[in-house]
Structures are given as C-alpha cells and as structure tokens.
Amino acid sequence: MVLSALLSSVIAGIGWGLAFWGRRQTKHLCRWAYRSHVVFMSLAALRLLLLIINHRFEYAYVSSHTSTSLSPLYLVSSFWAGHEGSFLLWGLIGAWIGLVLLRVARPLELFFYNLTQLGLTSLLLISNPFALLEIMPTEGLGLNPLLQDPWMAIHPPVIFLGYVGLAIPFALSLAALLERKESEWAQRTLPWSLFGWLCLGSGIIIGALWAYEVQGWGGYWSWDPVENAALIPWLMATALLHGQLQAPGILKTNFVLAISTYLIILLATFVTRSGLFADFSVHSFADLGLGGLLLTMVALLGVLASIILGSRWKGLRGQRASFLSVATIAVLLCAAFIVGAGTVTPLITAKLGRPASLEASFYNKGTFPLALVAGLLMALFPWIERKQSFIIPGIFVLAGTIPIAVLTRQPLQSLFTGVFLVSLLTNAIAWVASRWRSGYLIHGGIAIIFLGIIVSANFTTTERLALRPGESGEVVGHQIRYLGETPTGLEMDLTGQGGSFKAFPKIYSQDGEVVRKPHIDRGLFNDIYISPLALQQDWGPGLRLGKGETVVQDGYEVTFLGFDLMGHQGGRVGTQVTISGAGAEHQVVPTLTIKPSGREQEIAYISDLGLAVALDEVDAGGEVVLRLFQPDAAPQVLILEVSQRPLISFLWLGALLAIVGSIMTLLQRKGYSQGQEH
C-alpha cells in the first residue's frame, strides 16, 4: 500500500507538471491519481491501526511500541510513538489536507505540494511500519510510560498539522514565482500560514503542558534540542505572518521566509531523527537509517527553491515595510538564530571531540532582551496603528515598572513585567475599541504568556523534605502530612492559608524506568506542585570511616578495609567492608556508581545476619559513609519536593486566548482587506 501510494503520487506529480506546460487533458487524470494516493495512505494507516488494536506482535513496530495492557487511548496513540508510525501519520495528514488544496489550487501549486508528499511517502519505504519479526513474541515491549498521557496522545498530530500547513506556503511560493503571480501570493497563502502557525504553536503549548504535568521536574520548557526543533520554525512562521500582513507585501523577505520555514522543518526533522542528538536530548529518536534520505530531501528541495527564487529575485517588487513590521521580523529571526545556534552547539562540540550542550541560561540570557523588545512592540502597536504618540505607552511602562522594582528589588524582571503589563493593557483596550479585532486578542494572550513565564521563573519557591508514613512537615507555607501508599497514589494532606486539600502524587517502576507523576493543586494565581523524588528505605544513620577504622553499631563491628580497585572504573567505586558479630565475620563489597542520570548503589546483603550494607558517600580525603541496616525491617521514607509557582496558570490562559484569537482570524479572513495589519 505504501508503494502504491508512492506510485500514485508520482503519477499525479507528472500529470500536474504536464498540465502546467499546456497538457490540460492530464488534469483529470492527475486528480484521480492524487485521490488514489489519499486512499492508499488511508488504507496503510488503517492497516497499522488494526494491527496495533489486534496485538499483532509479529510486526516489529507493534511489538516495540504496544502491549496487551495498554488502554484503548494509548493503543491508538502508540500509532505515532515511533519513527515509522509518526511518518505515516504525517503523510496521512498531508494527503488529506491536499484534498482541500485540490479544490482551489492551480496545477503548478499542486505539483510542488505533491513534491512534499512524495518525499514523506519515500521515507516510509525505508522506515517501514509493516516489517515482520523472525520470531513472534508473546507480548510487546509496551509504550513508554511518560507517553501514556492524554496530552501526549494529541501532541504529535497537532504538530504534524502545523508542519503540513506550513508546507502549503512553501509550495504556493515556488508556483507563484514561476507563474509570476507574486501580487496575489500573500492573500492566497496567508490563511495557510496562519493555520500552520496556529497548529504548530498549539502543539508546542500542549507539549509544554505535558512536561509540566507528567515529567515531575516542575518546569515546562528545558530548551531540549527536539523542543527547539519545533520552536524555531514557529518563530520563523510568526515572522512570515507579520510580513504577509504588510500591504502589498515585502515580497523578497516573505518568499525567503515561506520557503526557508518549511526547509527548516525538514532539517529539524533530520537532526532529531537521525540519532545526532541521542546523547543530548531525552526526546531524540535513534538512527534507523533515515538521516541520508531526509538530508537528501532537504538538499534537493533547497536547491530547487534557491534556483527558482534566484531566477526571479531582481523582478520582485514590494514596498518599504513599516517600522513595526521590520522590527518585529528582526526580533523573531534573531530569536530563531539564537535558539538554532544553541541547538547545534552539541553537534559542533562533538565534532571537536568535546561533546557538550549549553545550559538553559544561554537561551534565557540570549532571548531575554529580544522578548523585552517584542513586548514593547506589542505595547506600541495599538498606538502606532492609531497614529498616537509614543509618550503615553512609555508613561504606562514607567508607572507599571517602578512600584514592582521597589517591591521586588529586581529591576530587569520588573521592567519585563511592566512592559508586558502595558502590552496587555493597551491591546485589551484596543480589542474592545476595535469591536473585538482578533489581532489584539492574540497579542494580549502572548503578553499574558510572558507574564506567566517571568513571574513563575523568578518567584517560585521550592523546598524538599523526607517523611515516613504518619509524619508531618512544613513546606512553602503548607503543613503536609504523609499518610502512606494507597492504590490511588501516595496519599497526603496539605493545609495552608487557602484551605486544605488531599494530594496523590505517584512514583513507581515500569519497564525498568522510574515514573514520577506529580500532583498539582491549581489556582488562578498560584499552583502548588508536589513531586515525589524517591521512595526508599530508611537506612539509618551514616557511619563515616577512614581506611582501617572500625565503628560499632547495634552490636556489630563495621571495618572499612579499603577500596576495591578491581571495580573502580567508569564512575563506579567499590569498598571492602568487614562486618563482625554473632560469632561470625563477613566481608562484603558495596558499590556506588555516579552517572549523569544520578547515583546507583549496589547494596551488599549478608543473609546469615539479616543485614545489608550500602555505600552512601566517598569524599576526596578517602573517607566513606556506610549505612548498616536490616532490609526487611527498614521503614520507607518519601523524599518529596514541593513548589509554589505563582502565575504559571497565565501560560495556559494566555495560550488559550491566543489560540481563540487565531481561530477568529481564520474565520474572519474574508472580511479582511489586504491593507490591515492584523
């Protein structure tokens, strides 16, 4: 079916090419060929879905990503859990979107759009979702526990909708250049650019919400290479939208942005799915041989686009852009460049023999001034558009910043907060005055997002504590009592100024992985974020010993003889320890291994005495900290991290408003004149 889909796409492409060169009789044939492509892609997707639902573990993809224990929702979402299924989903979405384009597009536009589909379908020949195993397993490996979440079930399809939406301006750009129909290009492509921008942005927000609710580290964005791979084209698409809304269009910039945005999507797909970031990203895919074909696809489309754009470059005539458009596009492209430079740094350092990734502080410091300028531009937009003075918003910024700076003693953060407060205020006023014009709603939503980012990043308080069942403690202004493990989770009661509530965070082991699911008590202005870090046995007090020293605990003599040099490698440290008591002497070797992902302890058990010895610390002076305990009698201790995160709900509220504003813009496009900027 995949091969049939590929062949029908090839026939459709040839037909549209001939139709452009005057063979109009081929138009009917290529339309049916493309419809056949859609049918074959749909049949391939339906076949894979049925294989998954029916637990056909003789197929490698089904065995690798599903199991009989998965719920129906996660069985369906396992469709796009790996390389093969995700490319099939991307191609399927592209095929069906192409049916919409088929009704309104010209032959050459359909030819170039079909090229993008041809590339995706070609990937499925190498990344085959229907490959069979030599031996059929009785059970599948299952779906990654972190992916078993409703948000992650919808995140990839929404992202792929964005990718497909932004493929259409790419195709329409190349066709408009060859047909010399640049004057109507912006109006034809703007709805698709907005659709792609909306879906890609929505997918990014869904991914951030998933990270916040599931991963348990309390954040929503880690500047991971795969996260950045979606953010960079979104920033470029935002720049494209601001260029397209400039009448009659800054043509050269717009064409470059429309073409390069889609090429960046393909390039980002290459770097994240070729295994290049396997050591630097928790989201990266392993290399399954797709890298060469993806890079070839990027190169061929890039060369083709460069030739077409270069041939028409001198003939492109637009107009001088407004200050606001130029500044906005410059800020967005600078942000995309900084994120891109930081993202490829691990690849460059790896080639130099010193692989390393940049800390989040690089991105935060690099994008902070750009975000500040973006806030000023959004604050000024309603005033500039209405030919008002710059003085009024400037006074608002100062009035909003000074009291915040005095109260918090953080001038830069206060300036940032003040700017986006003014941006929110001016766009809210303009939204009402303009009778609900959607551009102001989008800007207001983005201002709310940035307010949530700056306040939650700078005013979050986090504390840790260890509790046994029945014990209480105080964290972030709340009294917390741990009641113990229940089928629902780790039950605990919290009491604070806002009242009392029960929390049920979870921590468990699944398929060899420790899965942590936080409990979030949500509020409009404040979230209480409760994340279990570990549930471990209480090993009692630590025994600090130098080489040759002996201490007595519970009637047993514990002697540190020295380090086990045979096991001292790869971050692993072993210690030779003698335990004497009850008329017997036992020598054991507990170990401690330090890895980038954390500490791993290999506990030494003495079954005759019912004891265990753990190596807890090794210091530079050669001393060690050992723990002697009874494993069967040791009580469990919950290590808990509790955070108070102010205004983090503004991220989700602002995103929702921006999404609503974008949908309104799509629905209102017929009522827009080309001269309107939003």
2 shares its domain with 102: yes
Q: Which two tokens stand for residue 533?
A: 């870090």
Contacts of 107 (CB under 8 A, 6+ apart): 16, 17, 19, 20, 27, 30
Neighbours of 647 (CB within 10 A): 23
Point out the domain boundary residue: 148, 163, 191. 148
551 shares its domain with 623: yes
438 vs 420: CA distance, rounded Å: 18
Domain of 222, CATH number, reads 1.20.120
Give how far Cα 17 sits from Cα of 25, 27, 36, 406, Å: 12, 10, 18, 66
Q: Which two tokens stand for residue 548?
A: 């040759």
pTM for this entry:
0.84
451 shares its domain with 497: no
**pLDDT, position 671:** 38
156 shares its domain with 177: yes
| Secondary structure tally for the chain: helices H, strands E | 17, 20
Give a yes or no: residue 272 inside a domain: yes
Contacts of 194 (CB under 8 A, 6+ apart): 241, 662, 665, 666, 669
**pLDDT, position 329:** 92
274 vs 290: CA distance, rounded Å: 6
422 shares its domain with 515: no
171 shares its domain with 261: yes
**pLDDT, position 110:** 92
Closest by CA position to 457, among listed 375, 357, 379, 365: 365
317 shares its domain with 183: yes
CA 582, 587, 589 angle in degrees (round to 5)?
Answer: 135
**pLDDT, position 29:** 83
Give a yes or no: residue 395 inside a domain: yes
142 shares its domain with 158: no
Q: Which residues pair with 560 in a beta bridge?
A: 577
**pLDDT, position 15:** 86
612 vs 108: CA distance, rounded Å: 74
192 shares its domain with 310: yes
171 vs 486: CA distance, rounded Å: 56
41 shares its domain with 141: yes
117 shares its domain with 60: yes
| Region label for 80, one of left (φ > 0), alpha (ψ between -120 and 50) or beta (otherwise) | alpha
Give a yes or no: residue 350 inside a domain: no
Give a yes or no: residue 256 inside a domain: yes
Give a yes or no: residue 485 inside a domain: yes
Mean pLDDT for each 10-residue chunk of the chain (678 residues)?
A: 88 85 72 92 95 92 90 92 90 94 89 92 88 87 85 92 95 91 84 94 94 83 88 95 76 91 91 63 54 83 92 78 84 95 82 74 91 90 66 62 62 81 86 85 94 90 89 90 88 88 86 79 91 80 88 90 68 86 87 68 85 86 86 80 92 95 81 38
Give a yes or no: residue 676 inside a domain: yes
Give a yes or no: residue 332 inside a domain: no
139 shares its domain with 11: yes
Domains in the chain, number: 5
Domain containing 222: what range? 149-322
Neighbours of 411 (CB within 10 A): 13
Give how far Cα 90 sits from Cα of 11, 105, 427, Å: 21, 21, 36
Point out the domain boundary residue: 148, 168, 200. 148
Give a yes or no: residue 12 inside a domain: yes
**pLDDT, position 677:** 40
